[in-house]
Amino acid sequence: MQMLSTVKLVADPYPPYQFVQEGTVTGMDHDIIFEAFKVHGVEAGTTLHSWDECMALMDAGKADGIFQITRTAQREKRYIFSEELRTACTLFFKRKESSISLDCVTGLDSQLSGETVGVLAGYSYSETVDDLVRELKVEKTSSQDLLLGLSRGEFSLALMDEGVAAFLMKRVGVGGVERVAGFDISRPLYVAFRKALSEPVRLFNSGLEEIKKNGVYDSVVRRYG
What are the tens digits of pLDDT across the range 140-163? 988 899 999 999 999 999 999 888
Q: Which helix (H) or strand (E) covers residue 58, if one does?
A: helix 51-59
Q: What does the pLDDT look like over 41-61, one tens digit per residue?
A: 999 999 999 889 999 999 999
Q: How far is CA 144 from CA 37, 60, 171, 194, 202, in A?
A: 30, 28, 10, 29, 34
Q: Which domains does the chain possess? A: 6-86+188-223 (3.40.190.10), 89-186 (3.40.190.10)
Q: Residue 170 burial by CB count (10 A; 0-12/13-18/19+): exposed, middle or buried?
A: exposed
- The helix or strand, by DSSP H or E, that contains position 26, with its residue range, turns out to be strand 24-26
Using the CB atoms, write b or e for 179-214: b if 16+ within 10 Å. ebeebeeeeebbbbbbeebebbbebbeebbebbeee
CA 105, 107, 113, 116 torsion: positive or negative?
Answer: positive
Most confident of 103-107, 121-125, 174-178, 205-209: 205-209
Residue 158's pLDDT is what?
95
Q: What's the Rg (C-alpha) of the chain?
A: 18
Maximum distance among all Cα pairs of the chain, rounded to whole angstroms: 62
DSSP one-letter code for 4: P
Assign 26 a pLDDT band (cuts: 50, 70, 90): very high
**Helix, strand, coil tally for the chain in percent (to 5):** 35, 30, 35
Burial class (CB in 10 A: 0-12, 13-18, 19+), 215: exposed
Q: Identify the band that residue 105 occupies on the pLDDT scale cut at 50, 70 and 90.
A: low
Name the strand (E) or helix (H) holding 25. strand 24-26
Q: Does residue 30 have a pLDDT over 80? A: yes
d(CA 65, CA 173) in angstroms, rounded, equals 33
DSSP 193-223: EETT-HHHHHHHHHHHHHHHHHSHHHHHHHH
What is the mean pLDDT of the segment spanning 102-121?
Answer: 84
Among left, alpha and beta (phi > 0; psi -120 to 50; other), residue 136 is: alpha
The residue type of 129 is V
- What pLDDT shows up at residue 116? 93
Global pTM value: 0.75
